[in-house]
Amino acid sequence: MIRLLLAILIPWFVFFTIGRPIQGLVCLVLQLTLIGWIPAAIWAVWALNNYNTDKKIAQAGLGGSGDGDDS
């Protein structure tokens, strides 16, 4: 809940909390423009949602090894 609030108010910071610092810097540049704040917030909420989903999949043991080999 707090990360969701941060994603709306300080979008670039959320990327640093989920371990994506390069995306956080790109988001910060986007957020520095007034018109870019809304897309930055939407991007941060979307990334946070994907992060939470990936975490739940990994906790369920369905995440696989992550090497991309489907054999």
- The identity of residue 60, as a single letter, is A
Q: What is the pLDDT of residue 64?
A: 57
Rounded-to-integer distance, Cα 46 and Cα 65, Å: 24
Q: Where do the H-state alpha helices sit in 10-66?
A: 11-17, 21-31, 37-59
pTM, two decimals, is 0.74
Residues 24-52: tens digit of each pLDDT: 999 899 888 878 888 999 999 999 999 98
Per-residue pLDDT band for 68 (boundaries 50, 70, 90) equals very low
Distances (CA, A) of 36 to 6, 33, 57, 69, 70: 16, 5, 32, 38, 39
Q: What is the mean pLDDT of residues 1-17?
A: 88
> How much is the pLDDT for 65?
56
Structure token digits, residue 55: 């975490």
